Amino acid sequence: MKILVVEDEERVAHFIQKGLKEEGHAVDVYYDGEEGGFYAEVNDYDLIILDLMLPKKNGLVVCREIRERGVSTPVLMLTARDSVEDKVRGLDAGADDYLPKPFAFEELLARVRALLRRRSEVKTSTLKMADLELDPITRQVTRAGKGVRLTTKEYSLLEYLLRNPKKLLSRTLIGEHVWDMNFDPESNVIDVYVSHLRSKVDKGHDMQLIHTLRGQGYILTDEAPFH
């Protein structure tokens, strides 16, 4: 999943980013409310982790503004304040959950999983293409009824492809959604992961689902890809 973290304490932001990346998520980090709010609107995130006390624009204002502009992405609000009044203000501004600092990363991760699971359930239960299936709740993948074992990053890549069926996805788009905004488009890491994924998903099957359009990107389709 693609997650936005808006947190002005760099140590906390990097701690969250590192932990979420180890779980296979793509994570973008910004350090003030103006920049974080801007990217929350222009990019398609699966979750926003938003600190309450931010420079330039506080988290309450950011949350309220993105909701007014139609952004429905789940928001987990972080704050050093733990009063009932502050929690109510955060939730009334449009936050979906509230986590006081300091917190154990395990609790943050549990809340992240709950919000992402809720969002996945709203989007769809099982993602399918021909006889390929991915269950975002259990994270199980099957092809023709047989289980497919994937690494964390391979799973994230396949989920992104399945959420964008029959769409041409450029390497830049894939990099930003499966890795993060700082992904180097000149790197061949996407090609390597697509190759690994294809060997696990397509090898041994008559129907090839993952296609490369040279110089353009990749497409997941059960039809003949366009050229």
DSSP string, 67-136: HHTT----EEEEES---HHHHHHHHHTT-SEEEESS--HHHHHHHHHHHHHHHHHHH-S-EEETTEEEET
Q: How far apart are CA 50 and CA 38, in angstroms?
A: 13
What is the CATH number for 117?
3.40.50.2300
Q: How far apart are CA 115 and CA 99, in angstroms?
A: 13
For the CA atoms of 34, 38, 44, 50, the dihedral, rounded to the nearest 10 degrees, stands at 10
**Which of the residues in the chain have pLDDT under 70?**
82-83, 119-125, 181-182, 185, 225-227
Q: How far apart are CA 127 and CA 136, in angstroms?
A: 8
Tokens standing for residue 148: 């497919």
Instruction: Say if residue 26 is in the same domain as residue 113.
Output: yes
How many structural domains is the chain composed of?
2
Q: For the chain, how far is it from start to end, CA to CA, in angstroms?
A: 29
226 assigned to some structural domain? no
- Domain interval for residue 204: 127-220
Would you say 61 and 36 are in contact if contact means Cβ atoms under 8 Å apart? no
Q: How far apart are CA 137 and CA 135, in angstroms?
A: 5
Q: What are 120-152's pLDDT values in tens digits? A: 655 556 889 999 999 877 788 999 999 999 988
Q: Which of 93, 122, 151 is the last residue of a domain?
A: 122
Quick one: pLDDT at residue 221? 92
Closest CA to 201 of 138, 148, 135, 133: 148
Quick one: pLDDT at residue 127? 87
Instruction: Say if residue 110 is in the same domain as residue 137.
Output: no
225 assigned to some structural domain? no
Instruction: Say if residue 14 is in the same domain as residue 59.
Output: yes
Q: Which of 122, 142, 168 is the last residue of a domain?
A: 122
Q: Which of 96, 122, 148 is the last residue of a domain?
A: 122
Q: Residue 65 — φ and ψ, nearest 5°?
A: -65, -45
77 assigned to some structural domain? yes
What pTM was estimated for this model as a whole?
A: 0.64
